[in-house]
Amino acid sequence: MVPSMNPAIDPKLRNDPLFRELMAEGLAMQDRFAAEPVYARTGKGYLKSVGVEELKKIKAARKQKRS
């Protein structure tokens, strides 16, 4: 279980592989979210770019999986 996962979440759901994958992906990108100062109270903002190198790594990994 992810340490920061809410214990109120149904244990069956916490053990679901899809849920775990989505939770890990969401937590991995959480630090990239930047709230605009004007919209801080509404939660609006944008995702910071991961950069060209990171995108190249992702594309290469996807290409390897397909092969």
Q: What pLDDT digit, counting tens, does each position of 28-37 carry? A: 888 777 767 7
Tell me the C-alpha distance between 50 and 38, whole Å: 23
Residue found by looking up tokens 């609006």 in the block: 44
Provide the residue-wise pLDDT of the chain in tens; the chain has 67 residues.
Answer: 455 566 777 888 888 899 988 888 888 888 777 767 766 566 677 777 778 888 888 889 888 887 6
CA dist., res. 50 & res. 53, Å (int) = 8
Name, in order, each residue with C-beta under 8 angstroms of 1's C-beta and a sequence gap of 6 or more.
Answer: 14
On whether the pTM is more than 0.85, the answer is no
The torsion region of residue 6 among left (phi > 0), alpha (psi -120 to 50) and beta comes to beta
